Amino acid sequence: MVAESSMKASANEAAFDPYADRLREECGVFGIFGHADAAALTALGLHALQHRGQEAAGIVTFDGGRFHSERRLGLVGDAFSEAAVIDKLKGSQAVGHVRYSTTGETILRNVQPLFAELHGGGFAVAHNGNLTNGLTLRRNLVRDGAIYQSTSDTEVLLHLVARSRKPRFIDRFVEAIRQIEGAYAFVGITNKKLIGARDPLGIRPLVLGELDGAPILTSETCALDIIGARFIREIENGEVVVISESGIESHKPFPAVPERPCIFEYIYFARPDSIVKGRSIYERRKAMGAQLALESPAKADVIVPVPDSGVPAALGYAQASGIPFELGIIRNHYVGRTFIEPTQKVRELGVKLKHSANRSVVEGKSIVLVDDSIVRGTTSFKIVKMMREAGAREVHFRISSPPITHPDYYGIDTPDREKLLAATHSLEQMREFVGADSLAFISVDGLYRAMGHERRDPIRPQFTDHCFTGDYPTSLTDVIGESAKQQISLLAEAG
């Protein structure tokens, strides 16, 4: 049993950063071909994908003669809200990216889309995901003379395409992606084409849409909705699409295997109004909450979501249990990255920058607090404490995902395993850590039932769910090989 004093000390270590104890979003991609307002539409699409990455944003366009690039640190609205910026991005085809860094530091050199001048013309590419052999490939390419300008694993693709001796660009691109492992959704433009590719298991999402006859490739349907585009279909797992003046070509360079999309798209990452594989993200999250209520009921006066990600599951829990749903926590939507406060006492107030208790709802009540996940547990500890300080009589914590016991290597920023609360604590120890009267997670099979399956198929799992099961669907070359020990040299940016 872990001593209570050490638990609370650990919780306070990260008190200055209430954002550190969350699963960090991956990245978002957007590309359009043959539209006069390509840059403006891409900027709008990236706005809709902002939840997938808030550290940097970039757009590259092609005007028939030259490429134009604008890549900046910060939010899309800060980078692309001025007409003068959009006007500089000339051309009818564009590719854009919002970034959260899972590989490589947040420096301008790593901001995507990345661009390279190749034999036959320029190539700009944006990537959502993570290559699990990226460091190994990088080491081999550098040994053979490659010169890297970033620490992003996306640059590996540029080098592999550049070194291919195939005559056609699409053949060079296919030869490149056949050498990589992991999860990816690539969107890129050349001087003649818009190209998209999805990894063989379909871990990362990619959809095809259309606006005014112009094809669009993007991470989520919400990016189509914001510009009034029509959803056509999802790019299939292992599919490469090539869009040109001649139309849309589909290539299947990999052996056919059942898809295994990332289950966290449904639990947390995708925007609630997006549709993935014909499933409403919002409705699936409500179903998770309803299943959680069936598996782990609690006697309580109100259901309180941890906003915003816990809201749909809390609604589902409330509807299934018959207990009223109330906003017992109010989120401040206007707080950015929290500052480094000077004293421990002020640091402990950090969580209140983002969340505040609604005392009128929780005071004197027994509440069920619903959230989507527990990672390190530090923010959960502070939120439970906040509910008690607001007068909650009992706090029952319910989580709409199973315990996270393994790190991710496919584009989700998770801590090392020893820093995952569920990997190092029993359920009772976790309950003591967060300070709740009871704690329960949805079961793995319950999660699959909420997704419309009878249970998880242990032979052929329907989703990529390694964070809960330890069942990694691809090779993890960099994790187990020599590259895991390799340090990438970094050049600090001035200013």
Q: What residue numbers does the annotated binding site for Mg(2+) cover?
A: 309, 371-372
Place of tokens 């001035």: 494
Binding residues are: 309, 371-372
Give the C-alpha distances (Å, rounded to integers) separating 318 from 127, 312, 314.
38, 10, 6
Kindly list the catalytic residues: 27
73's tokens: 């640190």
Would you say 102 and 73 are in contact if contact means Cβ atoms under 8 Å apart? Answer: no
CA–CA dist 319, 134 (Å, integer)? 45
In the three-class reduction of DSSP (H, G, I as helix; E, B as strand; rest coil), residue 478 is classed as helix
Give per-residue burial for 61-72: e unless 16+ CB within 10 Å, then b.
Answer: bbeeeebbbbbb
- How many residues comprise the chain? 495
Q: What is the CB neighbour count within 10 angstroms for residue 204?
A: 28
Q: What is the CB neighbour count within 10 angstroms for residue 454?
A: 8
495's tokens: 């200013």
CA–CA dist 337, 347 (Å, integer)? 13
323: left (phi over 0), alpha (psi -120 to 50) or beta: beta
Would you say 285 and 266 are in contact if contact means Cβ atoms under 8 Å apart? Answer: yes
Place of tokens 């650990």: 10
Give the C-alpha distances (Å, rounded to integers) separating 181 from 136, 200, 206, 443.
11, 9, 17, 29
438's tokens: 């009871």
Residues 6+ apart with CB under 8 A from 277: 234, 261
Name the burial class of residue 143, with classes exposed (0-12), middle (13-18) and buried (19+) by CB atoms within 10 angstroms of its CB. Answer: exposed
Would you say 370 and 342 are in contact if contact means Cβ atoms under 8 Å apart? Answer: no
Would you say 92 and 63 are in contact if contact means Cβ atoms under 8 Å apart? Answer: yes
In the beta sheet, which residues pair with residue 438?
396
Residue type, 117: E
Residues 6+ apart with CB under 8 A from 140: none
109: left (phi over 0), alpha (psi -120 to 50) or beta: alpha
458's tokens: 């242990």
Q: Give how far the C-alpha of residue 182 lies from the chain's centroid of Cα atoms, to the nearest Å.
A: 15
